[in-house]
Amino acid sequence: MVNRPIAKICSLLFCCFFHTIHISAQGTIDLTKLQDEAVHWIQEYIRVNTINPPGNEIAGAEFLAGIFDEEGIEYEMAESAPGRGNIWAWLDGGNEPGLMLLHHIDVVPADEKFWDTDPLSGELKDGYIYGRGTLDTKTSGILHLASFIALHRSGIALNRKVLYMATADEEAGGAYGAGWLVEHRPELFRDIGFLLNEGGGGVLIGDNVQFGVEVTQKVPYWLHLSATGAAGHGSNPPVSYASVKLVEALERLRLHQFKPNILPVMDEYFKEIADQHPEPWRTRFRDIASAVSEPGVLHELQNYAPGLHRLTRNTCSITRFQGSEKINVVSPEVWAEVDCRLLPDQDPEAWLEEMRGVLGEEIKVEVLMGFTPAVSSSDTDLYRTMKQVALEAFPEARFVPTMMGGFTDSHFFRDLGIVSYGFQANTTPREDLPGVHGNNERVREQDVRQGVEMTLKILERFAAEGPVLKD
């Protein structure tokens, strides 16, 4: 672990006639310069290889540490295992519940032969920054960083502590990152009341903008299924054996229809997005609960918009198999793994009983991972501040709470009672969203610049003592 308070304190005072954000009586921040720095930092951060596996997040933590050193900001680093680095820095403030800014350092693998650029190049081309992590979540981390540093440079008094944190291993479940810190450094979170993390933000659909704030997420339940039976020679198959038992069970699971269940937050969300969709979906989304109860509509929705379908019911994807290691051997044991996602109002034990009933008595079911469901209220000053800032920038936009079909590290902190939101304060064209875990992941430079300004406004209004932004 490293704790390196730096004696050198950098006090920066910039002035720009058109692009100055006034933060306090002590000084002003040159917005254009801050945005330029953010663009540069994202490019450099992308070039730090933190692909998980193996992670090597310590390299990303060292990159952030170098910036904190230059700014004279106190921070700490900790490795949960060799190379699995985590870093956090803080600005002290008043007694209001603290605000944590969270992102993960690790990124998923990328196959260069399917990309137009080197996935770790951070190349700026035609108004886009390319690279693995530009959408998930190194840009988010830099938007937080730029705003955090701006508050530090200004010397503004804060009404609450602001904690900046970058963690390891989110892409594999967070055991070496957020989960490890919650277990081994619980004191870091005792005065934290709010969290901003990945999971939501603005989507640009044609000329329309839709802001979604993740307030809850589907709960992952990853299952290991196994079957056993007689072994033998492949030329002499038994009537029933392990592979057949498992294949038959998986086919029953494939055909099984989990009942739809529309949560109130999703009913509101579907109503808000209805006008953006053609008929018959426009009418169906205005009363989604009734629509999905009609025969065939769920299947139609899965074909039309899989990302929306998954928000209406529990789902399972069959993702891994293993049987015999030799083609002419009937294996005595075979297994498969299944990625299931539960709606957050579900009883996991009741759901497991449903799964066992579908799979049958001859299939052994083991839970590899399962999280606790939780929902964060949208009735908070932070939510209202985010909405205010977003609608000032995009007055015609919609701004609604939503549920995430995937999962993030937010569940670790909701378990601690911390109000946690998934929200990145900028917009992303809908056509760029497949870059998340896909090919040619990229972020528009203008969205980075917009995100710096919007994120800083949110922090100022929520964490500063009194009004600090001047027109």
Contacts of 450 (CB under 8 A, 6+ apart): 393, 426, 427
Phi-psi region of 252 (alpha: psi -120 to 50; beta: other; left: phi over 0): alpha
Please count the other Cβ atoms lying within 10 Å of the Cβ belonging to residue 407: 18
Go through the chain and tell me how many residues it has.
471
Q: What is the mean pLDDT of residues 14-31?
A: 49
Q: Per residue in 164-188, pLDDT tens?
A: 999 999 999 999 999 999 999 999 9
Higher-confidence residue of 386 and 24: namely 386
At 160, is the pLDDT very low, low, confident or very high (cuts 50, 70, 90)?
very high
Question: Two tokens at 9?
Answer: 């304190």
pLDDT for position 465: 72
Angle between helices 31-46 and 445-463 (to 10 degrees): 120
Fold adopted by 219-258+316-371? Alpha-Beta Plaits (3.30.70)
Residue type (1 letter), 457: K
At 466, is the pLDDT very low, low, confident or very high (cuts 50, 70, 90)?
low
Please count the other Cβ atoms lying within 10 Å of the Cβ belonging to residue 326: 9
pLDDT for position 128: 98
pLDDT for position 470: 46
Q: CA 107, CA 280: separation in Å to the nearest integer? A: 38
Pairing of strands 219-228, 333-342: antiparallel
What are the backbone dihedrals phi and psi of residue 407, each rounded to the nearest 5 degrees, phi first? -140, 155
Domain extents in the chain: 2-217+374-463, 219-258+316-371, 260-313
Task: Return mean pLDDT, the chain.
Answer: 93
Q: Per residue in 37-49, pLDDT tens?
A: 999 999 999 999 9
Pairing of strands 232-233, 329-330: antiparallel
Please count the other Cβ atoms lying within 10 Å of the Cβ belonging to residue 73: 22
Contact 159, 465 (CB under 8 A): yes
Q: What is the mean pLDDT of residues 378-397?
A: 97
DSSP state, residue 46:
H
CATH number of 2-217+374-463: 3.40.630.10
Q: CA 383, CA 193: separation in Å to the nearest integer? A: 13
Give all strands (DSSP E) within 373-417, no chain letters. Answer: 398-404
Angle between helices 138-154 and 31-46 (to 10 degrees): 140
pLDDT for position 447: 98
Cα 442 to its chain centre, rounded Å, is 16
Give all strands (DSSP E) within 350-467, no chain letters. Answer: 364-370, 398-404, 419-429, 442-444
Q: CA 177, CA 92: separation in Å to the nearest integer? A: 23
At 22, is the pLDDT very low, low, confident or very high (cuts 50, 70, 90)?
very low
Q: Say whether pLDDT at 192 is over 60.
A: yes
Q: Per residue in 260-282, pLDDT tens?
A: 999 999 999 999 999 989 999 99
Contact 351, 228 (CB under 8 A): no
Please count the other Cβ atoms lying within 10 Å of the Cβ belonging to residue 237: 13
Give all strands (DSSP E) within 178-231, no chain letters. Answer: 192-205, 208-217, 219-228
Question: Two tokens at 264?
Answer: 């109130």
Contacts of 264 (CB under 8 A, 6+ apart): none
pLDDT for position 16: 33
Give all strands (DSSP E) within 349-447, no chain letters. Answer: 364-370, 398-404, 419-429, 442-444
**Half-sphere exposure of 437 toward its Cβ, with a 13 Å CA cutoff?**
3
Contact 313, 262 (CB under 8 A): no
Q: What is the mean pLDDT of residues 51-78?
A: 98
Of the candidates 55, 170, 43, 169, which has an alpha carbon nearest to the alpha carbon of residue 118?
43
What are the backbone dihedrals phi and psi of residue 302, each rounded to the nearest 5 degrees, phi first? -65, -35
At 464, is the pLDDT very low, low, confident or very high (cuts 50, 70, 90)?
confident
Contact 227, 364 (CB under 8 A): yes
Q: CA 285, CA 277: separation in Å to the nearest integer? A: 9
